[in-house]
Amino acid sequence: RTVYVNGEYLPEDQAQVSIFDRGFLMADGVYEVVSVLDGKMIDFDGHLVRLKRSLSELSITNPLSDEDYLAAHRELVARNGIGDGLVYLQVTRGNPGDRDFAYPPADTVPTVVMFTQAKPGLADAPAARTGWKVVSVEDLRWGRRDIKTVQLLYPSMAKMEAKARGVDDAWMVEDGKVTEGTSNNAYIVKDGTIVTRELSHDILHGITRAAVLRFAQEAQMKVEERAFTIAEAQEADEAFVTSASAFVMPVVEIDGAAVGSGTVGPVAKRLREIYIEESRKLAV
């Protein structure tokens, strides 16, 4: 695989980042994941806007222009022959030389890394036909989940707990309400209304969430942005999650209780179809 490091395209075993990089020592960095379908980037502009917001919230200088980011994505997709898959992008505060809690001077050069992962048949994931099972766990992450930082240890722990309990993912709960999945936004559907938590510092502002809500409204579906409990989700007609890599993924069981019929519901199925179809048209 060819990867991108600070302006260079290199074989992955020759790519290097300093051990003093703040991303490595302090998780001082942000990332994005963009899906690729038929060699084109899905929701690219949205991911770029969020990347720049994450960088700005952390006072990390944005090292590249929009055109450079897109050109690098396209170059990696081409060099690696990616039809369906993803491009991972990470920007960290770079290598100040010494370890220190204080940020280094603003002219410290950020580290930019990008790589691809091939995922043939990404849009036809078999799991979308059966749906995911999830369990609830306490949300023990920090208080700025709207910034897409690389400090992913708690969501990794939650994912491992889900796997240990024989299910696909965990829904995190704070003050009795669902915040989000380990790497996705969470939704329920009740009496035709789609319910998902409102945007705040408590959740990541999903790019797929924004697109799906827009398509739902365009299709005259009702949308309510508010928090919900696990009990409410278990009594809903449907549940699902959204993310750049899972698109719209139905959720059919929560903490051992079937949601609705316990099979993939019509709203999640339709939103998945609309999202994939419309996003393909807008891909770059």
Q: Are strands 111-118 and 85-92 parallel, antiparallel or unpaired?
A: antiparallel
- Closest CB to ligand PMP among 10 and 150? 150
Is position 276 an interface residue for ligand PMP (rule: CB under 6 A)? no
Is position 243 an interface residue for ligand PMP (rule: CB under 6 A)? yes
Active site residue 119: no
What would the two tokens of residue 25 be? 């020592």
Q: Which of 13, 27, 3 is nearest to 115 (CA)?
A: 3
Is position 269 an interface residue for ligand PMP (rule: CB under 6 A)? no
Is position 244 an interface residue for ligand PMP (rule: CB under 6 A)? yes
Q: Identify the active-site residue in 40, 119, 133, 148.
A: 148
- Closest CB to ligand PMP among 96 and 123? 123
Footprint on residues 55-114 left by ligand PMP (CB under 6 A): none
Is position 279 an interface residue for ligand PMP (rule: CB under 6 A)? no
Footprint on residues 178-237 left by ligand PMP (CB under 6 A): 180, 183-185, 204, 206-209
CA–CA separation, 200 and 224 (whole Å)? 15
CA–CA separation, 150 and 239 (whole Å)? 27
CA distances (Å), 102 to each of 64, 92, 106, 174, in order?
Answer: 24, 15, 11, 30
CA–CA separation, 167 and 78 (whole Å)? 36
- Closest CB to ligand PMP among 10 and 58? 58
To ligand PMP, the closest distance from the beta carbon of 235 in angstroms equals: 24
- Closest CB to ligand PMP among 28 and 180? 180
Interior angle at CA 153, CA 151 and CA 157, nearest 5: 155
CB 34 within 8 A of CB 243: no
The binding site for ligand PMP (CB under 6 A) comprises 33, 180, 183-185, 204, 206-209, 242-244
Which residues are identified as catalytic?
Answer: 148
